[in-house]
Amino acid sequence: MTERNTEASAHDKGATSCDNRRQVLYWRLLSRLFDHEEQAALESAGLDIVEDIGLPAALLDPGMSIGAIVQRHPELTAELKGLMTPGQESGTASDGDTERDRAAEVRRAALVSKVLLNVYSTGTGAATAGQLARWQSDAGWLERALGYEPGELRGGCPTGAGTVPGAGVSGSGTAPGPDRLIPAIGPELGVIEADLVKRMQLREVLADPELAARLTPSMSLIEQLLRDKNNLSGVALANAKALIRRFVDDVAEVLRTQVEKASVGSLDRSVPPKRVFRNLDLDRTIWKNLTNWSPQEERLYVDRLYYRHTARTTTPQRLVVVVDQSGSMVDSMVNCTILASIFAGLPKVDVHLIAYDTRALDLTPWVHDPFETLLRTDLGGGTDGTVAMALAQPKIAEPSNTVVVWISDFYEWQSESLFESMAAIHRSGAKFIPVGSVTSSGRASVNPWFRERFKDQGTPVISGHIRKLVHELKTFLA
């Protein structure tokens, strides 16, 4: 009994020691993330732990990239891949039982701390091209640790075969998506990268084709490119356009799927259905031929096949999209420009696009190409919706077949006169949809004065994810 108690006591002490070590490593991580000044006691304890468990002391060097460590210690490559996937939180003991392998947890804590610290602690002040390149490499190692390929999460969509959009499953089918493991980690990585780009000379990055090609297009980066496009030329301008087009194409692919989920128009039963197999109404065919059922033969004899009507009646609809392009509405400007181009591609939908700040610009000639449209915008400035209204009103030829979508935070210089013009559109019979934001985050700040008046008018402001606007437009156009 005494020997057994001694073994249990030793086991408990060992477990406590490992737990304490793991906590020291994570406390050091938190200290480094939230306070850039070095805590001597934590650094000394962390160094003792790392050396004692056989890991390189370079793991504690903030200036050492993960790629450089792996180059010197290639045996760590296998440990880093999948390091942060479920099932890796605790191993099994060396003797094969199901108890937690606390020694393995300490080792994992040291590696996880290095990966997270290198990615999430980027410092302040001016950044260099070299710092950006190192961060991109380290972010790639974080993606490997989560079970993905480098660049896969920052791109916003895993590219593995058989991946279901939004499911967050890598090509291997074993790693859970970022939304299940760490919420929204892909967009967050994009924000960090965009911040680094903002802190360095963007033109320096764009002038280097290799470095520019490694940038991950994000909304914040696209905003900077659009603001600075008039100051770019040559290779820098070409690389900026390539990044904008990549972002536009990615967003358009997602929005197009949402728009195409419902057909535009109602069924036209005056047109005979096409007698092809894909239109066969099997349930109706069986029901109508039940009188031909033969109990003896257990067979149903079909005298007539029934087909579904697929032809649709469509009335020409006019969609007028007015977008505030002031500095606070960049996200909405980009999303709505892309959305307008998608609706412009639908049959019997006539789309007009107007952008404004203190001046208004009719972008209708380029509405089918959101890339070209965005290049013609001029982000920033004040807000005067009356100039946009002067362009929008003449486009409402048949109010009953027109929907006007007005995207803005509605902080206007001439509130009374602008609202009266909007109310006149509503009274004319046109569908008027005020939109406070169409962003991926749904965050928006809308002028309370306008919000209350739109609510009283029966046209409440839509704010939130762009899916809300897609639903409203499909409902009107259907």
Domain co-membership, 290 together with 392: no
- Residue 457: per-residue pLDDT: 92
Asked whether residue 470 is domain-assigned, the answer is yes
In the chain, the percentage of residues whose pLDDT exceeds 70 is: 77
Q: In this model, does residue 285 exceed pLDDT 80? A: yes
Higher pLDDT, 226 or 274: 226
Domain co-membership, 273 together with 332: no
How confident is the prediction for the chain on average, in pLDDT?
A: 77
Q: In this model, does residue 84 exceed pLDDT 80? A: yes
Q: What is the mean pLDDT of residues 409-429?
A: 91
Domain co-membership, 375 together with 463: yes
Contact between residue 304 and residue 289 where contact means Cβ atoms under 8 Å apart: yes
DSSP class of 65: -
Domain co-membership, 294 together with 403: no
- Residue 89: per-residue pLDDT: 54
The range of the structural domain enclosing residue 287 comes to: 266-300
Lowest-pLDDT choice from 52-56, 306-310, 443-447:
443-447
pLDDT band, residue 396 (cuts 50/70/90) = very high
What domain count does the chain have? 2
Q: What is the mean pLDDT of residues 325-349?
A: 76
Asked whether residue 32 is domain-assigned, the answer is no
292: helix, strand or coil: helix
| Tens-place pLDDT, residues 123-141 | 877 777 677 778 888 888 9
To the question of pTM greater than 0.75 for the whole model, the response is no
Q: In this model, does residue 13 exceed pLDDT 80? A: no
Lowest-pLDDT choice from 335-349, 381-395, 399-413:
335-349
Lowest-pLDDT choice from 84-88, 89-93, 205-209, 326-330:
89-93
- Residue 174: per-residue pLDDT: 39
Domain co-membership, 390 together with 465: yes
Asked whether residue 131 is domain-assigned, the answer is no
Q: What is the mean pLDDT of residues 392-398?
A: 92
Lowest-pLDDT choice from 184-198, 234-248, 262-276:
262-276
Q: In this model, does residue 166 exceed pLDDT 80? A: no
Domain co-membership, 425 together with 359: yes
Asked whether residue 444 is domain-assigned, the answer is yes
Domain co-membership, 279 together with 359: no
- Residue 421: per-residue pLDDT: 94
pLDDT band, residue 422 (cuts 50/70/90) = very high
Asked whether residue 367 is domain-assigned, the answer is yes
Distance CA 381, CA 452 (A): 26
CATH number of the domain residue 437 falls in? 3.40.50.410
Lowest-pLDDT choice from 232-246, 305-319, 337-351, 425-439:
305-319
User: Across 187-271, where does the E strand assignment appear?
Assistant: 266-267
DSSP class of 215: P
| Tens-place pLDDT, residues 95-117 | 444 456 888 888 998 899 889 98
Domain co-membership, 419 together with 270: no
- Hey, how many other C-beta atoms are within 10 angstroms of the C-beta on 477? 22
pLDDT band, residue 179 (cuts 50/70/90) = very low
Lowest-pLDDT choice from 53-57, 204-208, 240-244:
204-208
Burial call 99-121: b when 16+ CB within 10 Å, e when fewer: ebbbbbbbbbbbbbbbbbbbbbe
Contact between residue 172 and residue 152 where contact means Cβ atoms under 8 Å apart: no
pLDDT band, residue 426 (cuts 50/70/90) = very high
- Residue 392: per-residue pLDDT: 94
- Residue 389: per-residue pLDDT: 95
Q: In this model, does residue 175 exceed pLDDT 50? A: no
Domain co-membership, 323 together with 436: yes
Asked whether residue 105 is domain-assigned, the answer is no
Domain co-membership, 292 together with 352: no
Asked whether residue 270 is domain-assigned, the answer is yes
Domain co-membership, 289 together with 344: no
Q: What is the mean pLDDT of residues 176-184?
A: 46
Domain co-membership, 291 together with 435: no
| Tens-place pLDDT, residues 15-62 | 778 888 888 888 888 888 887 677 888 888 888 888 888 898 888 888
Residue in 164, 141, 216 with CA at minimum distance from that of residue 186: 216
Contact between residue 281 and residue 308 where contact means Cβ atoms under 8 Å apart: yes
- Residue 216: per-residue pLDDT: 78
Note every long-range contact of 72-76, with CB atoms under 8 Å and residues 24 or more positions apart, other chains counting: 76/111
Residue in 375, 402, 416 with CA at minimum distance from that of residue 228: 375
Asked whether residue 422 is domain-assigned, the answer is yes
Strand partners, 294: 299
Token pair, residue 23, equals 């906590």
Q: What is the mean pLDDT of residues 172-193?
A: 58
